[in-house]
Amino acid sequence: MDPRGQKHLLGRPEQGILPMDIWFNLVLFVHLVALVVGAATNVVMPVIGGRLAKMPPEMRGEFGAIAGRLSRNSQIALGLLVITGIIMVALRYGGLEGASPWFIAKLVLVGLLGVVLVAARVIPPARFNPRVFGMLVRLALLGIIFCAVMAFN
């Protein structure tokens, strides 16, 4: 209701267009959609990668392009996860003070995931097995989701 007693479809006017909880939920929604995109890519990539190596060269180009598109999507998803995560912390918690150990562990794992992803770009594949990178990324992702569930439930 607004001060004149009229219902406001988008929330209470004194709180802005939408109440803060709804903003938070919308950002959490984007956070979780980004998680779906990032996680799905991480499940699909090893399947494509495994087949790619055994494919005849004429098919490799098309599948390589698909793999490239998917890994671009997962990079965008990771960026969105970090941005929306920071927005949620700012909106609801106002910073990291008083954060639970599970939440800190989640952030440490996000940092490690970032390091692994940068290393995968910098270190040539001949010096480090890309499969090991893939495993590390999947392990970090599982750990992050576990810590998030423990932290917020």
Binding site for ligand HEM (CB under 6 A): 28, 31, 35, 78, 81-82, 85-86, 88-89, 92, 110, 113, 141, 144-145, 148-149, 152-153
Q: What tokens appear for 61 in the block? A: 């180009």
Taking alpha carbons only, the member of 123, 120, 113, 115 closest to residue 144 is 113
Minimum distance from CB of 111 to ligand HEM (Å)?
Answer: 9
Nearer to ligand HEM by Cβ, of 28 and 33: the residue is 28
Minimum gap (Å) between residue 56 Cβ and ligand HEM? 36
3-state secondary structure of 132: helix
CB of 1 to ligand HEM, least distance (A): 27
- Rounded least distance, CB 89 to ligand HEM, Å: 5
What is the Cα–Cα distance from 95 to 123, expressed in whole angstroms? Answer: 35
User: Which residue, 69 or 92, has its beta carbon nearer to ligand HEM?
Assistant: 92
Closer CB to ligand HEM, residue 65 or residue 104?
104
Using CA atoms, how far apart are residues 125 and 106, in angstroms rounded to an integer?
A: 28
Residue closer to ligand HEM (CB basis): 48 or 88? 88
Report the alpha-carbon distance of residue 95 to residue 100 in Å, rounded. 12
Q: Which is nearer to ligand HEM, 89 or 116 (CB)?
A: 89
Residue pair 11/22 in contact (Cβ under 8 Å)? The answer is yes
Query: Which residues, other chains included, contact 130 with Cβ-Cβ below 8 Å and sequence gap of 6+?
Result: 49, 120
